[in-house]
Amino acid sequence: MSPSGSTPPEAERLRALGWTETWAAAAAAAAAPGTAPARVVRHDGVAVVVAGADGASTRPLRPALPPLAVGDWVLVDAESVVTVLPRTSLLQRRDPTRGGGQVMAANVDCVGIVGGLDRPVKPGRIQRFVVQVRAAGAVPLVVLTKADLVDPAAARAAVATVARAAPGIATIVTSVATDRGLDAVRAAVADRTVAFVGESGAGKSTLVNALAGREIAATRAVRRGDAKGRHTTTARALHVIADPNGPGCRIVDTPGLREIGIYTDVGVVDDVFDDVTVHVDDCRFDDCTHTNEPECAVLAAIAAGTLDLERLAAWRHLRDEAAEGRGP
Ligand SMILES: Nc1nc2c(ncn2[C@@H]2O[C@H](COP(=O)(O)OP(=O)(O)OP(=O)(O)O)[C@@H](O)[C@H]2O)c(=O)[nH]1
Ligand SMILES: [Mg+2]
Ligand SMILES: [Zn+2]
């Protein structure tokens, strides 16, 4: 506290970035004298922008460090990033060109899986994202944007499709044209660090701007005809959003993804599909493949109508992909 009793602006800047006592303890444990804490707020593949108590500055990437991600808390000196503090979560996907993991964001509490109602909901994509978000150690949230462009019945049908594909995941329908759902999104992201992921043109950056109340992220109209996006956001960036009436939040805006490959171990897939795996122990055979065995509890649940055949198919598919990809 400063003598006037108010928080000094430097401390306030760090706090707005998400700095807490827990991070301060992690920094102290790292014992790197002559360094200051900062958060990676932008990553373009060559350098990172870090923001700390004194504002933002650029640091080159160094091969000696683990790959940095937007959202990382680091200790920096005048020239470089010295240490990365242990992450509380790490959002990754399978690198579509090189294989292995590709880091998307670190230390996020929640991930908004954003999809536009101007195109069909793709259950498989949502399931893939949910697996990767749970693998990250974050909470998934589905945001269906552009409600103003479809009739209410179509929006309800999309919500139902999401609920079938990803049972138990909170879903918010939004429109920046009518402000629908924005308070619900605000409540979901308050005081947190949240990443928005999804296809190009889904409306991720538009949502960032709506939450901020001003244009802080570039947006661009989707293609006419097929509503495809134009890959407007080209680098991952963390935006600090102040809220005079609340704690504010931090949003990591990400470039639209064409693919989201599974990169985790099969146990995470099993956890996400616990509506399927809950039955497996009751199958008669330990090595039951749930295809045609007698006394298969999974097939019995499908026959009884308590389990969706598509959930079983998706579980199998993503489980195989996790096993092939040999993630963490
Ligand atoms: N009508 C309507 N248009 C929206 C809404 N949200 C986003 N859009 C439009 O959708 C287009 C794409 O939005 P962006 O925010 O650039 O999409 P993005 O997900 O950030 O796309 P990338 O950066 O390419 O990944 C823009 O023309 C937005 O104005 C909405 O709620 N209603
Ligand atoms: Mg964008
Ligand atoms: Zn079985």
Domain 9-84, what fold? OB fold (Dihydrolipoamide Acetyltransferase, E2P) (2.40.50)
Output the CA 234–ligand 2 centroid distance in Å: 8
Distance of CA 297 to the CA centre of its chain: 34
Domain 90-253, what fold? Rossmann fold (3.40.50)
- Tell me how many degrees the CA angle 82-87-90 measures, rounded to the nearest 5: 120
Give the helix ranges, DSSP H, for the chain. 9-16, 21-30, 123-136, 152-165, 182-189, 204-212, 266-272, 274-277, 297-304, 309-325
Ligand nearest to the CA of 255: 1
Q: Which residue's CA lies nearest to atom 3 of ligand 1?
A: 146
Helix (H) or strand (E) holding 196, with range, is strand 193-197
Ligand nearest to the CA of 297: 3
With 0.85 as the threshold, say if the pTM is over it.
yes
Strand locations in 227-313 (E): 236-241, 249-253
Ligand nearest to the CA of 286: 3
Residues in the chain with pLDDT values less than 50: 1-2
Helical packing angle, 182-189 and 204-212, nearest 10°: 80
Instruction: Write the CA distances from 98 to 149, 265, 325, integer angstroms.
Output: 38, 18, 11
Ligand 1 close to Cβ of residue 233 (< 6 A): yes
Distance (Å, rounded) from C-alpha 188 to C-alpha 54? 29
Ligand 1 close to Cβ of residue 176 (< 6 A): yes
CATH of region 266-325, choose from 1.10.10.10, 1.10.287.3510, 1.10.40.50, 1.10.3720.10 = 1.10.40.50
* Domain residue ranges in the chain: 9-84, 90-253, 266-325
The phi and psi torsions of 141 (rounded to 5 degrees) equal -140, 135
Does 9-84 match 90-253 in CATH topology?
Answer: no
72-90: per-residue pLDDT in tens? Answer: 999 999 889 999 999 999 9
Output the CA 245–ligand 1 centroid distance in Å: 26
Distance of CA 243 to the CA centre of its chain: 21
pLDDT of residue 224: 78
Ligand 1 close to Cβ of residue 137 (< 6 A): no
Distance (Å, rounded) from C-alpha 239 to C-alpha 208? 8
Helix (H, G, I), strand (E, B) or coil at 184: helix
Ligand 1 close to Cβ of residue 200 (< 6 A): yes
* Nearest residue to 269 (alpha-carbon basis) of 111, 99, 135: 135
Ligand 1 close to Cβ of residue 119 (< 6 A): no
Ligand 1 close to Cβ of residue 256 (< 6 A): yes
- Tell me how many degrees the CA angle 157-163-168 measures, rounded to the nearest 5: 155
What single-letter amino acid sits at 295? E
